[in-house]
Copies of this chain bind each other. A is one copy, B any other.
């Protein structure tokens, strides 16, 4: 099993920051980025490549959940082929989770696997989607049906990229931050609980120490969770799946009007309510969880959240995990367990949990 470095750095694209240059020097480099990121940072990237004498080509890729597909991965492969990509070449994905996912997939295919570097520019990318060894594309309507395990040579996190994010995207990242905090780190949860709204409005610029700390703790806890089961061949019980049981179907049901992070927030809220109703999570803790989610402007309910959708999601989840849905249930802030059998969640409990969230969100 190959390892990889995750590095937090300021001023990544400053010509004198050696990190990227040291990785890429002397190798054919293909930078893949989105039109938006290119507009904001393309000039600096080209300046960086030029002043460091890098042998790079820049490719733009329209990246959204709707075109995270085989065709877009193939476009990266085609660009790489046309630009003389040999076995030592490296793909550099600079963008959100969709961009780095497509780049990871393309890198895993080209010449049976070449190197890649991820420079996530969104909060979700920096603390969740962009770290780890996975890449995937959607296929014929099935989310992430095709993919790979392909460790990056490096993941480079520059919080400076967050400054240009819309608030909605910062919120979506915080949904993943809350998730990892809930299963692993009460201290991290406390930071979001106390400073969440300010993290959003300042794009993790303020309060400086707390924002920085929250970012880095999220990365470290995520890596600690992933590390023992990087290739997901050891166990289906992954605490980091909290918030990811109902959310895929929820996103699909909303025709992707609900952002991934919003769906994760709703799923996390539902899992917490279920846990409280099953007597696993104290009521006080549930209130902390729901109010923290709401405080940063994330939803806890959607009209698409139905008993039928949740049942289907649980059964689908169980089907892929040898019969156990492994729904992650918080026991307290910072600690979680698993629902091991679909039958352990009685229908009325699920229904009541959904009802409770509908009421809390003022929609019932």
- Chain A residues engaging chain B, CB cutoff 8 angstroms: 70, 74, 77-78, 81, 86-88, 108-113, 134, 136, 139-140, 142, 145-149, 232, 319-320, 322
Contact = CB atoms under 8 A, between A and B. Distances in A.
A87 B136 contact: no
Max chain B C-beta neighbours (<10 A), residue from A77, A113, A146, A147: A146
Given A74-B70, A112-B136, A140-B78, A86 B320 contact: yes
A136 to B, nearest CB: 7
Nearest to A2: B233
Please state the number of chain copies in the assembly: 2
Contacts of A109: 146-148
Contact of A146 (B110, B136, B139, B140): B110
Contact of A145 (B81, B88, B147): B81
Contacts of A148: 108-109, 112-113, 148
A112 B77 CA distance: 18
Contact of A149 (B112, B134, B142, B232): B112
A106 to B, nearest CB: 9
Given A86-B320, A148-B113, A142 B81 contact: yes
Task: Say whether chain A's binding surface is mostly helix, strand, loop, or mixed.
Answer: mixed
A62 B270 CA distance: 48
A55 to B, nearest CB: 14
Contacts of A232: 112
15 contacts: A70-B74, A74-B139, A77-B145, A81-B139, A81-B142, A86-B319, A86-B320, A109-B147, A109-B148, A110-B145, A111-B147, A111-B320, A112-B136, A113-B149, A148-B148
A111 B142 CA distance: 10
A77 to B, nearest CB: 6
A77 B139 CA distance: 9
A320 B172 CA distance: 42
Contacts of A70: 70, 74
A313 to B, nearest CB: 15
Nearest to A148: B112
A284 to B, nearest CB: 38
Contacts of A113: 148-149
Nearest to A112: B147
A264 B15 CA distance: 49
Contacts of A145: 77, 81, 110-111
Contacts of A140: 78, 81
A-B complex: 10 closest residue pairs judged by Cβ atoms: A109-B146, A112-B147, A87-B320, A86-B320, A112-B148, A112-B149, A81-B142, A81-B140, A78-B140, A70-B74
A42 to B, nearest CB: 26
A78 B70 CA distance: 12
A111 B146 CA distance: 5
Contacts of A78: 139-140
Given A86-B320, A112-B136, 9 more contacts: A70-B70, A77-B139, A77-B146, A78-B139, A88-B322, A110-B145, A112-B148, A112-B232, A113-B148
A278 to B, nearest CB: 27
A88 B111 CA distance: 27
B87 A112 contact: no
A237 to B, nearest CB: 15
Nearest to A136: B112
Max chain B C-beta neighbours (<10 A), residue from A86, A111, A319: A111
